[in-house]
Structure 1
Amino acid sequence: MTFTASRPGILPCQAIDTLIAAGAVTSDTPFDADQVQPASLDLRLSDRGWRVRASFLPGERTVETRIQDVVMHTIDLDGGAVLEKGCVYIVKLQERLSLPPGVVARANPKSSTGRVDVFVRLMTDRGATFDDVAEGYDGPLYLEIAPQTFSVLVRPGTRLNQLRLKAGEPPRLETRSVGVDLAFKNEGGIVGYRGRRHAGLIDLDKVAGHDPADFWEPLRAQRGELMLDPGEFYILASREAVEIPVDQAAEMTPIDPSVGEFRVHYAGFFDPGFGTDEAHGAGSRGVLEVRTHDTPFMLEHGQIVARLVYEPLTERPDRLYGEGGSHYQSQGLKLSKHFRA
């Protein structure tokens, strides 16, 4: 097919709908009504997966050919499958791409995935990198899944990541630094949460179905400081409110490791309208998913921990983030949608 955009940029929902109608994005099952987001497409697990002993990139081979070198056993997701923390899995996705000339794609975990410390990366046949899909790619999609803190329950249709499609080479409009809030602004002086190491199972399709006390330890900073322990997972909030203009989207990227031995934010996409007046949600904070490296690190209030990179859309989307309701619009410090408020 031939696809023409009005200008270089990220494709909005109506352009994604056009690609679906033209067969550039197909699926094993009918698309869900809410699967296309303002500037991204949610991807869904199929019923077919593998437990593998190591992560990998396929190189010059297909994903399923390369899997045979590291497979431990196959997994049937029908009826639900438990993915154990500390293990690595590959699951085929229901969606398939046949990208037209001039269009590329990039994937990222959904916010709810990152907030329960499930590390996911998109894979393509003969792919040289994770999460990036080259122009002209025609083939299936796979997801590497590596739960870090909690074991999780998934099934066919579970959505763990999302795909952003781009036309041409959109310019970076702005790069904004993001600091962390450790200043006792939340009720009870809670500035964050630390994942409990020996918690139970999280059903990733169950909204508000888990008691947060069973999975999270509330944290109170001392003098605007918080000690991060190696190997622990933290949920914190940005000091600044995040607002994404209606004709732009943004990606949160980890800060240069030279300023701190930690990684911030697994789930990096912010859709147009996030935190804006027009979407009735001014002042949304960015939630920070933080994991330290090999040494303890003292985090201070206001310390820069990540950057927001803004890019234009090819055109204004027909709908904005938060229209019709969202678990994360107008958020402050907030756990994932799986937990009761």
Structure 2
Amino acid sequence: MNDVTPAGILPCQSIEALIAQGAIASLTPFDADQVQPASLDLRLGERVWRVRASFLPGMGRKVTDRMADVAMHELDLTKGAVLERGCVYIAEVQERLKLPAGIAARGNPKSSTGRVDVFVRLLTDHSRAFDDVAEGYDGPMYVEIAPQTFSVLVRTGTRLNQLRLKQGKPPLLDTRSVGVDLSAGMAGFRGRRHAGVIDLDKEDGHDPRDFWEVLEPRRGELLLDPGEFYILASKDDIEIPVLQAAEMTPIDPSVGEFRVHYAGFFDPGFGAAETDSRGSKGVLEVRSHETPFLLEDGQTVARLVYEPLTARPTRLYGEDGSHYLRQGLKLSKHFKAWK
């Protein structure tokens, strides 16, 4: 990267250049589909630890330095391991970074991870905040995994989160409110508390009725029960221009006793006429807080924050097909279509 490159999110060709330069390395060869239009999928390594508490290493300390204080036992991911709901784990990530000056990064759960209520956060050495990777960071990466509603089966190579790289400090181009759609007869799903295990590498392999119940709002309203997990859809289609990327962020909790608690990345071209002539809804992963809350049709539940790319990506969202292309209300790719 050089000084004339504008501030912004790096597109796929710039991420591939960083891989070629060794600024992003891996213990194993990169997968052919690992680089997305404006992000890089991260893969679990060989080991995961059950820990008694979440933590941040803080300045001057490595993740492994703190692990001795909180680790309870180690699991071998090469054989596959079930991560139990209600427990917290720290796993190795296969990829490591040696970022050039001026390049920073941010982690985020993949869409499919958020839709099964698995809380995922990126950890790096010396970090004082989850998900944010400091400019010029040189070192390994780890991921904190906390399944909330379902226990999940993962293994070496499972992709739970993704990394977005950026040059400089990209300006915020726009912020748009996202409302919830409660107008349809089948307006959402609620997770079943005592369901089986979800294999996170198995697509179209689970009967959704074993894990979800359908929600049918009355009079355009839905009562959110404390501690329950909901899949809902945005009121309007979401469109991401091809020279921008966006992140869905939670709104101020003071507007209601709920939270869209997985901030999601939206790649350039998502829902855009150039790649998606019919448009795409945003899927919302909603959890209520301690107090029941009555949600209304069209109510604002999140915001989209748009940032520029440094260049047009050589591939756009959905060009090679996607499970979530032209989506409406849709469960994660792990489930068969609802019938």
Classify the TM-score, shorter chain: over 0.9
Query: How far has the Cα of 1:6 moved from its partner?
Result: 2.4
Question: C-alpha offsets along residues 261-293 of structure 1, whole Å, 9 cap, x if unaligned?
Answer: 111051410000000111134320000000011
Name the amino acid aligned to 1:90. I
Where in structure 2 are the equivalents of 1:36-47 lying within 5 Å?
36-47=35-46
Which whole-Å CA distance do the structure 1 matches of 2:305 and 2:160 have between them? 22
For 2:278 and 2:7, locate their aligned partners in 1 and report how far apart those are by CA, in whole Å: 28
* TM-score relative to the length of structure 1: 0.97
- Matched residue, 1:310: 306
Q: Report what 1:263 is aligned to.
A: 259
Q: 1: CA distance between counterparts of 2:64 and 2:170?
A: 33
- The aligned residue for residue 199 of structure 1 is 195
**1:49–1:77 Cα contact (<8 Å) kept:** yes
> Are 1:242 and 2:238 matched, yes or no?
yes
1:8 aligns with 2:7: yes
1:222 and 2:218 aligned:
yes
2:336 counterpart residue number: 340
Counterpart contact for 1:13–1:317, Cα < 8 Å: yes
User: Counterpart of 1:333 in structure 2: which amino acid?
Assistant: L
CA distance in structure 2 between the partners assigned to 1:320 and 1:14 by the alignment: 11
- Contact 1:85/1:150, CA 8 A, preserved across alignment: yes
User: For the residues of structure 2 that align with 1:267 and 1:8, how far apart are their CA atoms?
Assistant: 22
Q: How does 1:139-178 map to 2 (within 5 A)?
A: 139-178=139-178
Instruction: Output the TM-score relative to the length of structure 2.
Output: 0.98
| Alignment partner, residue 248 of structure 2 | 252
Distance 2:71 2:277 in 1: 46
Contact 1:3–1:100, Cα closer than 8 Å, also in 2 = no
- The AA in structure 1 aligned to 2:246 is A
Asked whether the 8 Å contact 2:150–2:195 carries over to 1, the reply is yes
**2:25 aligns to what?**
26
Q: What residue ranges of structure 1 are gaps of 5+ in the alignment?
A: none
Counterpart code for 2:127: G
- Selected match of 2:273 from 268, 271, 277: 277
Match of 2:209 in 1: 213
Aligned to 1:91: 91
Q: What SS does the corresponding residue of 1:69 show, helix, strand or coil?
A: helix
Q: What SS does structure 2 have at the residue aligned with 1:198?
A: coil
Correspondence for 1:327? 323
Q: Identity over aligned residues, as a percent? A: 74
Structure 2 residues without counterparts, runs of 5 or longer: none
Between 128-137 and 257-266, the greater mean CA deviation after superposition? 257-266
My pick for the range that moved more, 4-13 or 15-24, is 4-13
Report the AA paired with residue 234 of structure 1. Y
How far is the alpha carbon of 1:101 from its aligned partner? 0.5
Residues 113, 267 of structure 1: 8 Å contact kept:
no
- 1:79 aligned partner: 79
Q: More displaced, 28-37 or 265-274?
A: 265-274
Instruction: State the one-letter code of the partner of 2:196.
Output: G
Residue type matched to 2:140 in 1? P
Instruction: Give the whole-Å Cα distance in 1 for the aligned partners of 2:2 and 2:162.
Output: 21
CA contact (8 A) 2:189 2:232 kept: yes
Q: Is the 2:270–2:276 Cα contact (8 Å) retained in structure 1?
A: no
SS class of match (2:69): coil
